[in-house]
A = this chain, B = another copy of it.
Amino acid sequence: MQLSTPRIFSREEIEQVIQRSEVLTAIEAGFVLYSMGEVQTPSTTHLQFENPDGEVHLKAGYIVGEPYYVINVVSGFFNNYATYGLPNNDGLMLLHRRETGELVAILLDHGLLTDIRTAAAGAIAAKYLAPRHVTAIGIVGTGTQARLQLAWLSEVIDCTEVVVWGRSEERLAQYVEDMGDQYHITTTLEMSYLTERCNLIVTTTASKAPLLFAEQIQPGTHITAIGADIAGKQELDPRILYSADLVVADSINQCLEFGELSNASEMLLRVTELGSVIENPYLQRQNDNQITVADLTGIAAQDAKIATLVYRRLLERE
């Protein structure tokens, strides 16, 4: 008997089966299982490039008892758009049968599922950690995640007042053009303008130095930091983590390696994992004065959950 040929699905096919509510449920379950030790995953592997700058992230893992293991390959080459007019990101996910290692499906998503599971994680963090009344949502950055995080937050947060910070007037204007129909958006080049008005902040940049500082953060603010996903990236002043009431990591190990926590490792004893926060109300926000931070680096449990869900839905459509 021969190994079968894998099924191959395009980004367009994958896009059609995404339903936000069930994706959120699946990803949330993935975080819980990860924090229960039910996810087998080696360390994330990175390839880094200079001239032109680029990076590749390889994540692999499986949830104990589930039928597939998943490998996620995603690249970021940061001059693609400027140099070639190409998207900066590419990627794919591979589903293998856990019993036999057979490759059953190639999800040629060009990074879409990684973008989505990252946005879903931001929404889940906000669900458990944002203050009850969000005055305005602050988005730091103007790229793909700056859009997707906002879009997915609407699943859990009822607020359409938005402040967006960016470095380029042109990109800020483009952001408003793309997102302005559904939100009331103010743009700014000054971070303090954003931090004064927003008590739910999502940082989505590839910055290598802090963009937000401790003295700027108002009591009651929740910050989700998703930019730092490889050694060298950093968006938050470590003093924000030191002074926060709650610091939550998607994976403590991974965030210590290359998340915001890697710049604040003395915090270790005070950090909880998102999976534990989801399961335990005592680990969630307790009042509207606490400052909370979620450090999200992206974990294989999210990949395994979203790839398996999408594959099942793709098969059902046939």
Contacts and interface: CB of A to CB of B under 8 A. Distances in A.
Contact of A103 (B90, B101, B102): B90
Interface stretch (A24-32, A37-45, A237-245): A37-45
Contacts of A71: 56, 58, 73
Contacts of A101: 54, 56, 75-77, 80, 89-90
B85 A102 contact: no
Interface stretch (A2-10, A204-212, A219-227, A285-293): A2-10
The size bracket of the interface on A is 35 or more
A86 B1 contact: yes
A84 B101 CA distance: 12
Copies in the complex: 2
Interface in A27-79: 40-43, 45-49, 52, 54, 56, 58, 60-62, 69, 71, 73, 75-77
A110 B75 contact: no
Contact of A47 (B10, B40, B84): B40
Nearest to A40: B47
A169 to B, nearest CB: 24
A96 to B, nearest CB: 7
Chain A contact residues, majority secondary structure:
strand
B75 A47 contact: no
Contacts of A100: 52, 54, 77, 80, 84, 86, 90
A153 interface: no
A3 B86 contact: yes
A94 interface: yes
Nearest to A96: B75
A102 B90 contact: yes
A2 B56 contact: no
B58 A58 contact: yes
A108 interface: yes
Ranked 7 nearest A-B pairs via Cβ: A75-B101, A77-B101, A1-B85, A42-B45, A90-B101, A45-B45, A77-B100
